[in-house]
Structure 1
Amino acid sequence: MSTTSLTGVLAENIRATNAGDLDAILATFADDAFVTDASREFRGKQAIRAFLSKEIVGDRVSYEVVEVLGGHGQTIVRTITDGLFDKSRLPSPLILTHYFQITEGKIASQITILLKDPAR
Structure 2
Amino acid sequence: MVTFADDALVNDQLRDYWGKKAIRDWAERDIIGERLTIAVTKVVRHYESFIVIADIDGNFDKRGLPDPFVLAFYFTPHNEFIVQLIILRNRHDI
TM-score in terms of structure 1 length: 0.75
Distance in 1 between the 2:64 and 2:18 partners?
27
Distance in 2 between the 1:45 and 1:86 partners?
26
Bigger share in helix: 1
Query: Over residues 47-78 of structure 1, what are the superposed CA-to-partner deviations in whole Å (9 max), with x where a residue is unaligned?
Result: 11111110111001111110000122210000
Distance in 2 between the 1:55 and 1:110 partners?
15
Distance apart, 1:88 and its partner CA: 0.8
2:91 aligned with 1:116? yes
Distance in 1 between the 2:12 and 2:24 partners?
14
Distance in 2 between the 1:84 and 1:98 partners?
20
State the superposition RMSD in angstroms: 0.9
Aligned length: 94
> Which secondary structure does the structure 2 equivalent of 1:112 belong to?
strand
2:30 aligned with 1:58? no
Bigger share in strand: 2
Q: Which runs of 4+ in 1 moved over 6 A?
A: none
Distance in 1 between the 2:29 and 2:82 partners?
20
2:63 aligned with 1:80? no
Q: Runs of 5+ in structure 2 lacking a partner?
A: none
Distance in 1 between the 2:18 and 2:29 partners?
16
Distance in 2 between the 1:56 and 1:27 partners?
16
Alignment of 1:1-120 (within 5 A): 26-119=1-94
